[in-house]
Amino acid sequence: MNGVMFHTPKWMYMLHGNLFVRYNNQDFNNKGTRGGSEFDAPNWLMFMGQRQVGKNGQFRFGSMLSLDAPLGGGDGYPLLFQSGEAYKGKAIVDRQHPHDLFSELSVSYSHALSQKTDVFVYLAYPGEPALGPVAFMHRPSALANPDAPITHHWIDATHVTFGVATLGFRYGKFKVEASSFTGREPDEHRYDFDKPRFDSFSGRLSYNPSKNWALQVSQAFVKHPEILHAGDIKRTTASAIYSVELGAESRLNTTAVWGMNKAAHHDAENAALLEGEWSYKKLALHGRYEWVQKGIEELSLDESVFGHDAVFPVNAFTMGFNYDLFDIAQTKLAGGSQITFYNADGRLNNLYGKNPMAIQFYLRWYPRLM
């Protein structure tokens, strides 16, 4: 993991994050009318600490901050076929919403019952319930990619939830968790704290068969997640993460995820993601493939034109590179670029064109590998 770790006699701390300063052009080949281009700066910073409590206990706190809104604006950054949340009374579509200034403030306590078993509790305002894999911002397979997945709201969008309480139990390589949390996604006011509702719940089963694999399945009932669209969602996910060192200065990280949203009186909408990053010394190559079914609400389309139950499959394939330019203290400054190819349902060609493409160039600041 990339991060800066330091210790005191009783505490262990870690600081890590990502900052991209980039030029982002969605639909640079001018195929449609929904693209956009701008200079922006996706970013996040995490600070965590833990200490032993007695012989069998461990206390941990976690925090995550993001300056997405002040650096990029309240409507986020351009990203074709992205959907989720709202700004100034309108749905955010073809843009990725900014994250709140306070995206995690959490505490947790774990207690070992034996060498094989422990129990734990996690409380956060805001934080992440037991649903889906680790969020894209923290997956080693996605760290060099500035963009949120367009499958975000099928897989890991609940990682910023204002009000979370989780209980868990581990036995050997298995872990089971249950959460109560707030289903409503954060509002457009990015510097405040939303009302905790604890109106939704989830369960997750994880299995780590070895140090290289992390597997999970999870399901949740999410109460009214979207501000502008009434209705509850049943979300189901399954994922596999694989990480391996290929040598002293080389490693491979991959992630595969499936997610499904099911709303009342609508067919289920599915999503799949496969991403990976291979690094060798100063160079890292990354890629991501996504397939997602988006309805008229997600893409803000006219129901009278497309029909109430219309669903549109979207494919996106991204490939890019990241090359370290300088070491600065315990951090690195890298340069990088990526290109994305989109392919969507032909009914959307009048809006998006046929096979629009996106390109971006960036400087990235991030911590060294621990």
Kindly state the percentage of the chain with pLDDT values over 90.
89
* pLDDT greater than 90 at residue 21: yes
Kindly state the percentage of the chain with pLDDT values over 70.
100
Task: Output the average pLDDT for the chain.
Answer: 95
Read off the pLDDT of residues 265-290 as tens digits, 9 standing for 90 and up. Answer: 888 999 999 999 999 999 999 999 99
The pLDDT of 53-58, averaged and rounded, is 96
* Residue-level pLDDT at 341: 97
Burial of 128 (0-12, 13-18, 19+ CB in 10 A): buried
* Residue-level pLDDT at 267: 87
Label residue 200 by pLDDT band (50, 70, 90): very high
Is the Cβ–Cβ distance between 292 and 150 less than 8 Å? Answer: yes
Label residue 123 by pLDDT band (50, 70, 90): very high
159: phi then psi, degrees, rounded to nearest 5: -70, -10
Label residue 167 by pLDDT band (50, 70, 90): very high
Nearest partner of 36 among 361, 360, 370, judged by Cα: 360
Nearest partner of 216 among 254, 164, 174, judged by Cα: 174
Q: How far is CA 356 from CA 32, 58, 148, 272, in A?
A: 7, 50, 18, 20
The rounded Cα 154 to chain-centroid distance in angstroms is 10
Label residue 297 by pLDDT band (50, 70, 90): confident
DSSP 3-state of 158: helix
* pLDDT greater than 90 at residue 305: no
* Residue-level pLDDT at 308: 81
- 171 Cβ contact partners less than 8 Å away, ≥ 6 residues apart: 116, 117
Return the ∠ at Cα 297 (arms to 318 and 229), rounded to 5°. Answer: 125
Read off the pLDDT of residues 71-121 as tens digits, 9 standing for 90 and up. Answer: 988 999 999 999 999 999 899 999 999 999 999 999 999 999 999 999 999
Read off the pLDDT of residues 337-370 as tens digits, 9 standing for 90 and up. Answer: 999 999 999 999 999 999 999 999 999 999 998 8
The pLDDT of 212-222, averaged and rounded, is 97
